[in-house]
Amino acid sequence: MPKYIVDSKGRRTAVVLPVKVFEAMVRELEDLTDAQYVDNAEASAEGFVGLSALQQHKIQKRLANQIESKG
């Protein structure tokens, strides 16, 4: 699928890809970069709370409020 551009000695110096392939590669690299940023942020953040823990906390708080309002 890729085509190579070579120099006068036959060494590959560049690659020609279909636009769709190139765009898919760029999207994949962006996704991987985003995931790495998240991993680094989680590792370095103090008191970081993941989404599932935050959702669980909200549910518990809502239930506690309901119990208090009934009692």
Q: How many CB atoms lie within 10 A of CB 16?
A: 10
Report how many helices (DSSP H) and strands (DSSP E) the chain contains, helices first: 2, 2
pLDDT digits (tens, 9 = 90+) for 6-55: 999 999 999 999 999 999 999 999 999 999 988 888 788 777 777 888 89
User: What pLDDT was estimated at residue 58?
Assistant: 92
Torsion angle defined by CA atoms of residues 17, 19, 21 and 24, in that order, rounded to the nearest 10 degrees? 140
pLDDT 10s digits, 12-23 = 999 999 999 999
* DSSP bridge partners of 14: 5
Count of Cβ atoms closer than 10 Å to residue 36 Cβ? 10
HSE (CB half, 13 Å, CA atoms) of 19? Answer: 0
- The pTM score is 0.51
